[in-house]
Amino acid sequence: MTSPPTLSVNRTSVQISPVCGRYLVAKGATPGRGILIEELPFAVGPKCNGPVVCLACYETDLDPEEELCTECGWPLCEDCSGNEDNAHFQLECRELRDSRARFFPLPSGSSHCPQLDCIMPLRVLLAKEANPERWDSEVAPMEHHEEERKKDADVWHADRVNIAQYLRGPCKLASRFSEELIMQVVGVLEVNAFEARSSKGYPLRCLFPYTGILAHNCVPNTSRSIYPSEGYKIRLRAMVDLEEGQPLHHSYTYTLDGTAQRQKHLKQGKFFSCKCDRCLDPTELGTHFSSLKCGQCAEGYQVPREPTELDTSFNCGSCGSITANSEAMAMLQSLQSEVNSVQALEMGAKRLEEVERLLRKYKSLLHPLHFIATGLRQLLIEMYGRVQGYEMVQLPDHQLERKAELCRQVLRVLNTFEPGLSRTRAMNLYELHVPLVLLAKSGFIAGKLNGGELRARLVDAIDLLKECVEILEFEDKSSQEGVLCVVAKQALTQLTLSVEGLGSELD
């Protein structure tokens, strides 16, 4: 029985540049939502710096002293213990058992289990032995930035002790894997691995050697979905229409962070500074996503003078006043600390009201679309209609309109930074359709809308749901987005029937 091809669809080609190294371009024109790549992972495993997890399903809710593999004594949940086809039994179990490398439960209150940091690198090394051709052609050439990583001496030392020396010492693998090779694998994972979720929703990481060479851009033009039910296969799709030879990008960082925050993350974790159009534009493509309200004039906003420089000043475009970087960052850190405190509150009315209070407070400090304000709006969107005292059926019209406006403001940002096939856009489209439907029905009952106007507004909501479903239908059915897709399809069917019935009455 032959193994399935690791790359079953490939509508891309590899190019090389002195800036990006290897990167991918579209092989032929590709319409938005068109598939570009299907690839099976080289390895799948737990995240680094994480808690104790089951080494087969990555569940975190297990007893680390009781739920252990009967063969090797490492973490394995009760459900996975009886399944010898899982990843743990197939991969590292024999190595850990034969070497008698013991697993030591963490002290109470510890959140990071450094002993598990070796598992994903070990799985990559075992995959190298099992498939040396794929290693040589696809994984070995991947960036691992050894010299840059060595500059952070504490992290380098921790990886060397917890992973390289542990695998070569207690795990007795010194004759098979050199320290240099193990540290190369650690770097390849740090720079290139993708985060994913198991079928139960637990976080993990996957290494996709081909898809992993996608170049970065803070406005990506590709969208990826990973399918646990298909061996964690990844499918890469075009977010928007692509031309033949167009470079393909995804974002290595969170698109809803400001420029300074994205640059810091990329520099620390990926070892480069981004020079994309968004990063080079002080207004972030007209959104003013990092702009501060000028304290010297009524109309102006201060934008970063040199956006890609971490110590840039902020200059007002109206009056020319300047704020030093240290002062601007201190203010933002203070605001973020307030936000974090509110986020830590129990989900409920008090949390919602505190978020609204912060938004009002920050009007005099931030541009309305600033990333901190946008993050607060996203929190409110998720709370309006769901927390006690603010359930959807109880919201008065002004609060329904508030939720709808919050959705529109966040979508304005997403339409710029994540155009087209974006899961975050889809979820906000779904959130927007609900208040629009309720407001339309409320207006009709109150006599503010006639039958034709009601129908038109419901059709607008149908269009939102259609786009939501068109985006989410590509997601794994067990994922949060896949479940929402089913819910959105049901809402679309019901709303379509309502509009058809209304049309008959109007006729």
Judge contact between 182 and 220, C-beta under 8 A.
no
Lowest mean pLDDT among 88-97, 121-130, 217-226, 263-272: 263-272
Outline where 384-477 has alpha helix (H): 397-417, 423-445, 451-472
Residue at 467 is within a domain: yes
Q: Which domain holds residue 165?
A: 43-196
Q: Kindly report, residue by residue over 215-255, the tens digit of the pLDDT.
A: 999 999 999 999 999 999 999 999 999 999 999 999 999 99
- Predicted pLDDT at 501: 85
Lookup result for tokens 């970063």: 304
What's the rounded mean pLDDT across residues 451-462?
A: 95
pLDDT at 30 over 80: yes
- Same domain for 500 and 449, yes or no, is yes
pLDDT-derived band at 65 (thresholds 50, 70, 90) equals: confident
Q: Kindly report, residue by residue over 131-169, the tens digit of the pLDDT.
A: 999 999 999 999 999 999 999 999 999 999 999 999 999
- Same domain for 234 and 354, yes or no, is no
- Please give the Cα distance from 252 to 236 (Å, whole number): 15
Cα 153 to chain center, whole Å?
28
Residue at 294 is within a domain: no
Cα distances from 491 to residues 381, 412, 426, 463, 466, in angstroms, run: 19, 24, 14, 12, 10
Residue at 296 is within a domain: no
- Work out the percent of the chain whose per-residue pLDDT is above 70: 98
This model's pTM is above 0.85:
yes
219: closest CA among 285, 273, 263, 272? 285
- Please give the Cα distance from 127 to 2 (Å, whole number): 17
- Please give the Cα distance from 430 to 438 (Å, whole number): 13
- Same domain for 33 and 144, yes or no, is no
What's the rounded mean pLDDT across residues 388-399?
A: 95
CATH number of residue 457's parent domain: 1.25.40.10
- Please give the Cα distance from 352 to 376 (Å, whole number): 10
Q: Kindly report, residue by residue over 353-380, the tens digit of the pLDDT.
A: 999 999 999 999 999 999 999 999 999 9
Residue at 68 is within a domain: yes
Q: Kindly report, residue by residue over 446-456, the tens digit of the pLDDT.
A: 999 999 999 99
How many residues in total does the chain contain? 507
**307: Cβ–Cβ under 8 A, 6 or more apart, which residues?**
259, 260, 263, 279, 280, 281, 282, 284, 290
- Predicted pLDDT at 96: 97
- Work out the percent of the chain whose per-residue pLDDT is above 90: 89
- Same domain for 417 and 469, yes or no, is yes
Token digits of residue 349: 């009315």
CATH number of residue 246's parent domain: 2.170.270.10
Residue at 257 is within a domain: no
Lowest mean pLDDT among 5-14, 28-37, 278-287: 5-14
- Please give the Cα distance from 45 to 68 (Å, whole number): 17
- Please give the Cα distance from 54 to 56 (Å, whole number): 5
- Please give the Cα distance from 414 to 401 (Å, whole number): 20
- Same domain for 102 and 212, yes or no, is no
- Same domain for 78 and 157, yes or no, is yes
- Predicted pLDDT at 115: 94
Give me the half-sphere count of Cα atoms (radius 13 Å) on the Cβ side of residue 195: 10
- Same domain for 332 and 185, yes or no, is no
Residue at 22 is within a domain: yes
- Same domain for 86 and 192, yes or no, is yes
Domain count, the chain: 3
- Same domain for 340 and 413, yes or no, is yes
- Same domain for 77 and 49, yes or no, is yes
The string of DSSP codes covering 97-151 is HHHT----PPPTT----GGGGGHHHHHHHHHHHH-HHHIIIIITTS---HHHHHT
- Predicted pLDDT at 473: 95
- Predicted pLDDT at 236: 97
- Same domain for 365 and 480, yes or no, is yes
- Please give the Cα distance from 382 to 137 (Å, whole number): 45
- Same domain for 37 and 21, yes or no, is yes
- Please give the Cα distance from 69 to 56 (Å, whole number): 10
The string of DSSP codes covering 196-225 is EE-TTS-EEEEE-TTGGGPEE-SS-SEEEE
Residue at 133 is within a domain: yes
Residue at 299 is within a domain: no
